Amino acid sequence: MRIGVIGVGRIGRFHAQVLRANPHVEKLVVVDRDLARGDAIATALQAIAAPSVAELLTQVDGVVIASPTDTHATIIEQAVRAGVPTFCEKPVALDLASTRRVVALVAEHHGTVQMGFQRRFDAGYIAARHAVQSGALGRVYNVRIAGHDPAPPPESYLASSGGIFRDLHIHDFDIVRWVLGQDIVEVYAQGAVLVDDMFTRQNDVDTIAGTLRFSSGALGVMTGGRHNPLGYDIRMELFGSKDSVTVGWDNRTPMHSLEPGMPAAPANAYPMFLDRFDAAYRAELEMFVDVVAGRAENPCTVADAEQSLLVALACDRSRELHRPVMIAEIAA
Ligand SMILES: NC(=O)c1ccc[n+]([C@@H]2O[C@H](COP(=O)([O-])OP(=O)(O)OC[C@H]3O[C@@H](n4cnc5c(N)ncnc54)[C@H](O)[C@@H]3O)[C@@H](O)[C@H]2O)c1
């Protein structure tokens, strides 16, 4: 099989390495707007460097898009029109109109576009979904989700990030929908700037809390932020009528109990997403190779990405207006 990678920066380089190690991938083709970077990665991975996205699309059976967010919609369109099955890093786009255009285009062309919400491939979240679906958890009452980054990104990144809900918590919205098998119908979100004044300058916040109401009536609370001195803390707790379970709690979780006799904070706590979700990133691309080969169904569609975006936009509006917001209000 021949696979292309478009954009070999932070995450694209990792994806290219993972694909290089996949026994089904015989030929790897990369392209980067920075041609020297593309050449260097191609040499390091015994891949071929293409001169352009259009040229790459003529040489591959499937393509991974890992270029910056503002390029995703255009490149997805190119790939879908070329009939090339596509994996795209999240998000499709930061605005609803562009996302919906892509959703419509993919449907019209019967295209395959797998979105990179890697938490769906994490063992803990898979087990949580199973606990809900099998009935082992019973009726779901409450969900608690935490998404805490270790350190803020640079201000230049914030300017085009779409804000904390679309940039960081979009992963929480996708995974909680997937684990519960339910939609979020209403949110009430608050934000504060407690870490760095650059967030105020960018009309963004660095610390959030909020509530979520699900279609079954279950209630969720979320917390998150851009600074956590102990590391990258991504967790979920589910409280049901038969069991209570947690995801993301292991001996590298950047949290420690103050009860007597409990261990100190781990010295090797997860520093960032590539460590925390290493196995999940590998598994999502393994699945993509199976999707390209026709052995598997697309596990995460552009329509799923639209739903998470709606929740993030509802949180933005809720924070601005200081009131609960129905998702239907944003979707209308
Ligand atoms: N799923 C996740 O957890 C996760 C984690 C990190 C990043 N991401 C997403 O991945 C994407 C890339 O993020 P990153 O941190 O790797 O960015 P990055 O800036 O490190 O890398 C982007 C690369 O794309 C290249 N590029 C820019 N425009 C291009 C174009 N038109 N064609 C080809 N190459 C182009 C750049 O030169 C650069 O090498 C973003 O959309 C981001 O949201 C997702």
Kindly tell me the burial class for residue 261, based on how many C-beta atoms sit within 10 Å of its own C-beta (0-12, 13-18, 19 or more). Answer: exposed
Asked if the peptide bond before residue 266 counts as cis, ω within 30 degrees of 0, the response is: no
Decide: 32 in ligand 1 pocket, CB within 6 A: yes
User: pLDDT digits over 8-48, tens only?
Assistant: 999 999 999 999 999 999 999 999 999 999 999 999 999 99
Decide: 118 in ligand 1 pocket, CB within 6 A: yes
Quote the pLDDT of residue 296: 97
Distance CA 237, CA 221 (A): 10
Query: How many other CB atoms sit within 10 Å of the CB of residue 73?
Result: 21
Decide: 99 in ligand 1 pocket, CB within 6 A: no
Mean pLDDT for the stretch of residues 191-213: 98
Kindly tell me the burial class for residue 182, based on how many C-beta atoms sit within 10 Å of its own C-beta (0-12, 13-18, 19 or more). Answer: middle
Q: Residue 228 in contact with residue 234, Cβ under 8 Å?
A: no
Residue with tokens 């270029």: 67
Mean pLDDT for the stretch of residues 165-184: 97
Distance 13 CA to ligand 1 centre (A): 9
> Phi first, then psi: what are they for 87, rounded to 5°?
-110, 130
Longest dimension (CA), the chain: 62
Token representation of residue 52 = 């352009």
Q: Which superfamily does CATH assign the domain made up of 2-111 to?
A: NAD(P)-binding Rossmann-like Domain (3.40.50.720)
Residue type, 234: I
User: pLDDT digits over 242-295, tens only?
Assistant: 999 999 999 999 999 999 999 999 999 999 999 999 999 999 999 999 999 999
Decide: 226 in ligand 1 pocket, CB within 6 A: no
Decide: 63 in ligand 1 pocket, CB within 6 A: no
Asked if the peptide bond before residue 154 counts as cis, ω within 30 degrees of 0, the response is: no
Distance 160 CA to ligand 1 centre (A): 13
pTM over 0.75: yes
Distance 7 CA to ligand 1 centre (A): 6
58, 98, 99: which is closest to 79 by C-alpha? 58
Whole-angstrom CA distances from 174 to 32, 114, 328 are 28, 13, 17
The domain made up of 120-277+308-331 is a member of CATH 3.50.50.60: no
Percentage of the chain with pLDDT > 90?
Answer: 99
Kindly tell me the burial class for residue 219, based on how many C-beta atoms sit within 10 Å of its own C-beta (0-12, 13-18, 19 or more). Answer: middle
> Phi first, then psi: what are they for 21, rounded to 5°?
-85, -5
- Closest-lying ligand 1 atom to the alpha carbon of residue 75: 31
Distance 69 CA to ligand 1 centre (A): 7
Q: Residue 21 in contact with residue 12, Cβ under 8 Å?
A: no
User: pLDDT digits over 60-106, tens only?
Assistant: 999 999 999 999 999 999 999 999 999 999 999 999 999 999 999 99
C-alpha of 20 from chain center: 22
User: pLDDT digits over 314-329, tens only?
Assistant: 999 999 999 999 999 9
Distance CA 189, CA 222 (A): 9
Q: Which residue CA neighbors atom 7 of ligand 1 most closely?
A: 11
Quote the pLDDT of residue 160: 87
